[in-house]
Chains A and B, each alone.
Chain A
Amino acid sequence: DGGITQSPKYLFRKEGQNVTLSCEQNLNHDAMYWYRQDPGQGLRLIYYSQIVNDFQKGDIAEGYSVSREKKESFPLTVTSAQKNPTAFYLCASSIDRYRGSLNSYNEQFFGPGTRLTVL
């Protein structure tokens, strides 16, 4: 079945530790995204990657890092520099927005999320 997987579902981190959240998709999508969700809030963009080996910072990239070595994978590392990392993290993917007609905009498909808690 095609889809997006995220692991682990729950993650606990001690202060000062780096942790990496996994995101894999087998939808053959070019674009991948990481969002952060806090209680009662919408989703805020952390990082975005349109193609392999390329990614851009989103609105709240400080304290996070990513890599995109393979089309299928877009791991997110939460570093010790992120002062308030406890949140729900969602990974998404979509067909490259620049394919197809000009100004086309394809829906994003989301993974099941990882809930990160700092102890």
Chain B
Amino acid sequence: AQKVTQAQTEISVVEKEDVTLDCVYETRDTTYYLFWYKQPPSGELVFLIRRNSFDEQNEISGRYSWNFQKSTSSFNFTITASQVVDSAVYFCALSGGSQGNLIFGKGTKLSVKP
């Protein structure tokens, strides 16, 4: 069965620290997609990245970077030089739900203090 585990429930850092959010997934599909979404206090989910299972290249976008390792079924997300505006709940998700939906982890709440 498909499953996404975000073991870190809450993380608190001080501004400018680097922080890594962990995501481990389980799937029997050979082709799948992984996603990260950000949920600020307003509640709306904001799409951050989509990664195909055949593309194991790491990706960097500004202060954000993602490390995809198929061998360990992990898709970790790092924020470099964190800022207060990064405070949010971050969700990792996996494609392949029976209804075409995404399978979400329980989320990691990140608090960045000034």
A residues with a Cβ closer than 8 A to B are 31, 33, 35, 40-45, 48, 50, 56-58, 88, 90, 92, 97, 103, 105-113, 115
Contact = CB atoms under 8 A, between A and B. Distances in A.
A65 B45 CA distance: 23
6 contacts: A41-B107, A42-B91, A43-B102, A50-B100, A105-B33, A106-B50
B14 to A, nearest CB: 24
Given A45-B97, A45-B101, A105-B95, A40 B106 contact: yes
Interface string B12-29: 000000000000000000
Contacts of A35: 101
B101 A42 contact: no
A58 B101 contact: yes
Chain B residues touching A, majority SS: loop
Contacts of A88: 43
Contact of A45 (B33, B42, B99): B99
Nearest to A109: B47
Interface string B28-71: 00011101010000111111001000000000000000000000
Main secondary structure of the interface of A (DSSP, over half): strand
A57 B106 CA distance: 21
Interface residues of B, number: 25
Contacts of B77: none
Given A58-B99, A105-B95, A107-B50, A42 B44 contact: no
Interface centre among B37, B45, B46, B106 (most CB of A within 10 A): B45
Contacts of A106: 50
Interface in B82-107: 91, 95, 97, 99-102, 104-107
Nearest to A94: B100
B44 A113 contact: yes
Given A43-B91, A90-B45, A112-B43, A33 B107 contact: no
B110 interface: no
Given A33-B101, A43-B104, A108-B102, 5 more contacts: A42-B104, A45-B97, A97-B100, A105-B50, A112-B42
Nearest to A40: B106
